[in-house]
């Protein structure tokens, strides 16, 4: 009888513990209207043209009790590339660079989150671009967390940056004249699901 009672109490405690853990993590959906992924790449030393991508979808699981247990999963629409010059857009989306027809999406899935300050973290994850997967670390800053004034849902906003080598992903056209290092800047909002 004692064993049955102990097992019942243990199961109940585990259930409460798991429920509390689930409540400690909030799931958010990235807002494609307020999420931009910008890139900058040096062109023969004369300039550093930039452009931006949109996201197809993305989720953020935010664990406020233990931020290191948070997670990010984003799908980027490489066909959405915009530089402000349609002919340049076509060239970057061509097989010379992104080959967006063959690889219409890129993905980022976090594998590790290291809290570095009150509102900063290093988010490491697997970036799949141009059919190649490599680890990338983003320097992330939490801009704001609170209820969104328009939707009345819980929302978070982030700024992030990283530098990747495009040759790591098989995009080697004109390297090194067109820089191998590509700087990425991200501005993002996400709302509770």
List pLDDT tens digits, range 164-183. 999 999 999 999 999 999 99
Please check whether residue 15 lies inside any domain of the structure. no
Please check whether residue 41 lies inside any domain of the structure. yes
Select from 72, 60, 64, 71 the least CA-distant residue to 23.
64
Say if residues 163 and 182 touch (Cβ distance below 8 Å): yes
The share of the chain scoring above pLDDT 90, in percent, equals 84
pLDDT at 122: 98
pLDDT band at 24 (very low <50, low <70, confident <90, very high): low
d(CA 79, CA 117): 35
pLDDT at 66: 92
pLDDT at 25: 79
d(CA 18, CA 12): 10
Instruction: Give the position of tokens 């530098």.
Output: 163
- Write the pLDDT tens digit of every residue in 74-83: 999 999 999 9
- Domain ranges, residue 94: 25-192
d(CA 171, CA 95): 9
pLDDT at 145: 93
Task: Please tell me the total count of domains within the chain.
Answer: 1
Average pLDDT of span 95-123: 97
Please check whether residue 134 lies inside any domain of the structure. yes
Tell whether the model's pLDDT for residue 86 goes beyond 60. Answer: yes
Tell whether the model's pLDDT for residue 4 goes beyond 50. Answer: no
pLDDT at 182: 97
Please check whether residue 176 lies inside any domain of the structure. yes
d(CA 155, CA 191): 4
Please check whether residue 2 lies inside any domain of the structure. no
Q: What CATH number does residue 47 fall under?
A: 2.40.128.110
**pTM for this prediction:** 0.84
- Read off φ and ψ for residue 152, nearest 5 degrees: 65, 15
């Amino acid at each position: 009888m004692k064993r049955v009672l102990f097992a019942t109490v243990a199961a109940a405690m585990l259930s409460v513990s798991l429920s509390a853990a689930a409540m400690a993590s909030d799931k958010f959906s990235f807002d494609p209207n307020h999420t931009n992924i910008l890139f900058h790449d040096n062109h023969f030393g004369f300039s550093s043209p930039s452009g931006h991508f949109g996201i197809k979808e993305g989720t953020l699981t935010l664990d406020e009790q233990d931020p290191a247990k948070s997670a990010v999963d984003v799908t980027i629409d490489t066909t959405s590339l915009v530089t402000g010059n349609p002919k340049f857009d076509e060239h970057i989306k061509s097989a010379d660079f992104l080959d967006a027809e063959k690889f219409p999406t890129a993905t980022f899935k976090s594998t590790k989150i290291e809290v570095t300050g009150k509102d900063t973290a290093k988010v490491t994850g697997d970036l799949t671009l141009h059919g190649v997967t490599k680890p990338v670390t983003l320097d992330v800053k939490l801009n704001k967390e609170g209820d969104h004034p328009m939707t009345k849902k819980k929302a978070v906003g982030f700024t992030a940056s990283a530098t990747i080598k495009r040759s790591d992903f098989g995009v080697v056209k004109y390297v090194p004249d067109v820089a191998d290092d590509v700087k990425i800047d991200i501005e993002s909002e996400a709302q509770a699901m």
